[in-house]
Amino acid sequence: MRRLNRQMAKLTCAKHGDQANDLVSFWRRQTKREVKAKSWFMAALALGSALEAAMYAYFIIWSGDESNDPAKDEKIPDDMALFDLIEAAKQFDLLSPVRFKDKFGEHAVEGVILEISRMRNNVHAGAALRKNFNPAKFKKKDYMRLQDIFDAVMDNYNLHL
């Protein structure tokens, strides 16, 4: 898949930012492995983890200190989750200009990005059982929709760097 070769701009200058960059790279490589294996649910999980790491990287860098001193990096809150990062991105207007097209038309990505978070929650047995979710029935088309959303978000993040 050609689109999996896209790279997020490397964010540097902060210890946590560099760690987040490494995580983004790891999860993108893992996504490629899962796609190659046609393990669509696992690919989507890895994609969601890459999104979360990329969002952490973006906010760590832009909220970091101006002298780029890693000792002054903010502590990452224990209770911060992907949902919180998505909400912060909305507040900073990072998602509203992004458009996502599917068979139903064009949408603001901020209206569909939570699909990645909700899908990723299905890794928890309780969540999957409550939603009657079967990961074996997660298909390539389901993954591709999430990949398209991810690509739209990453393209916009790269424009803001």
pLDDT band at residue 32 using 50, 70 and 90 as cut-offs: very high
pLDDT score of 105: 82
pLDDT score of 159: 66
**Boundaries of every domain in the chain:** 12-67+80-160
Tens-digit pLDDT profile for residues 57-112: 777 766 655 555 556 656 677 788 888 888 888 887 777 777 777 788 887 777 77
Q: Output the DSSP codes for the chain.
A: -GGGG--PPPP-SSHHHHHHHHHHHHHHHHHHHHHHTT-HHHHHHHHHHHHHHHHHHHHHHHTS-TT--GGGPPPPPTT--HHHHHHHHHHTTSSTT-EEEETTEEEEGGGTTHHHHHHHGGGSHHHHHHTT--GGG--HHHHHHHHHHHHHHHHHHHHH-
